[in-house]
Amino acid sequence: MNCKNPLISLALACAAMAAVAGPLDKTECIAPAKPGGGFDLTCKLAQSALMEGKYISDPMRISYMPGGIGAVAYNAIIAQRPAEANTIVAFSGGSLLNLAQGKFGRYNENDVRWLAAVGSDFGAIIVAEGSPLKTMADLVAAVKADPTKVVFGAGGTVGSQDWMKSALTARAAGLDPKSMRFVAFEGGGEAITALQGGHVQVYSGDASEAEEQIKAGAKIRLLAVMADKRLEGSLSKVPTAKEQGFDIEWPIIRGYYVGPKVSDADYKIWVDTFNKMMATPAYAKLRAERGLFQFNKTGADLDAYIKGRVGYYRKLAADFGLNVAK
């Protein structure tokens, strides 16, 4: 179509075409994993909320790019697709932890534009329903009395989020985290099964995961949540670790970033859209249905938070003798 044609009808048509073209046209969310799981959930939350709120006219496409808990997607966006304004990529707290440990290759937290954090889960210290451990103080006392009799289970290996939560708990007990007994499982489901079977005494998992398992009939109990304040809903009676005298927080945020060369104007459109969307009751309902707690940050506020969090993870990894990104 020739937009220089003087006919009014063509001029109006050209203007309409220009109006729809932009970051919210033909949108895509990249989930850096196979279908299912947290990254998929994060993309589907954006897909549902943006469409139901009429912020986009066509359904958001979800693409899957597994590898390295986000590393493959991170490298692809920066190196191959840096200016795609209509493409957002899901990230999690695990992505940030891996960035801090240099697991994303030569790129670091300064190489993308952090867009929005749309919700969070929190770490939790979980025991079997019949465990004699009733509080964090009980757990710490048991670990100090005989570290060999308190086995921590977690989804993931040394350096993972679950391992970090266990290590922080051990450190709160005044122990070298490397001295604790730790069993790695493929995922949280296996760890909870082992907990109920008495094969491990403590599971350092996630609050929403534990909540869902309890609803499904799992015989488990939460000693503490690693949040800055008590959570909402059915977990409101579970005290925080801080309440019990242990300065441990572990938010597991979920959100999105865009490529480093996305323009300021397009980036602002995304930020403004997420700010409007997340302020609505409809969004709060969608977020809660996916087991996420409120954690809304966008733009510069999120960027500052991410940089601070990765710096904290980097220091934490160094303290625990793990590899750290240069």
Task: Tell me if 131 is assigned to some domain.
Answer: yes
CATH number, position 279: 3.40.190.150
Residues 212 and 229 occupy one common structural domain: yes
Task: Tell me if 258 is assigned to some domain.
Answer: yes
pLDDT, averaged across the chain = 88
Task: Tell me if 300 is assigned to some domain.
Answer: yes
Region 223-237: what's the mean pLDDT? 92
Residues 6+ apart with CB under 8 A from 146: none
Quote the domain boundaries for residue 298.
8-121+251-319
Question: Could you say which of 191, 210, 235 is where a domain stops?
Answer: 235
DSSP state of 240: B
CATH number, position 166: 3.40.190.10
Residues 26 and 96 occupy one common structural domain: yes
Question: Averaging pLDDT over each range in 143-157, 160-174, 194-208, which range is the top one?
Answer: 194-208
Q: How confident is the model at residue 232 (pLDDT cuts 50, 70, 90)?
A: confident
What tens digit of pLDDT does each residue of 17-67 get?
A: 444 458 999 999 999 988 877 888 899 999 999 999 999 999 999 999 988
How far is the C-alpha of 202 from the C-alpha of 150, rounded, in Å? 7
- The dihedral region occupied by 238, where left means phi > 0, alpha psi between -120 and 50, and beta the remainder, is beta
Task: Tell me if 144 is assigned to some domain.
Answer: yes
How far is the C-alpha of 92 from the C-alpha of 278, rounded, in Å? 18
Q: How confident is the model at residue 162 (pLDDT cuts 50, 70, 90)?
A: confident
Residues 128 and 102 occupy one common structural domain: no
Instruction: Say what the pTM is.
Output: 0.80
Question: Could you say which of 207, 235, 263 is where a domain stops?
Answer: 235
Report the domain count for the chain.
2
Question: Could you say which of 203, 235, 267 is where a domain stops?
Answer: 235
Task: Tell me if 128 is assigned to some domain.
Answer: yes
Task: Tell me if 273 is assigned to some domain.
Answer: yes
121: phi then psi, degrees, rounded to nearest 5: -110, 175
Strands (E), 34-102: 61-64, 87-92
Task: Tell me if 292 is assigned to some domain.
Answer: yes
How far is the C-alpha of 180 from the C-alpha of 148, rounded, in Å? 7
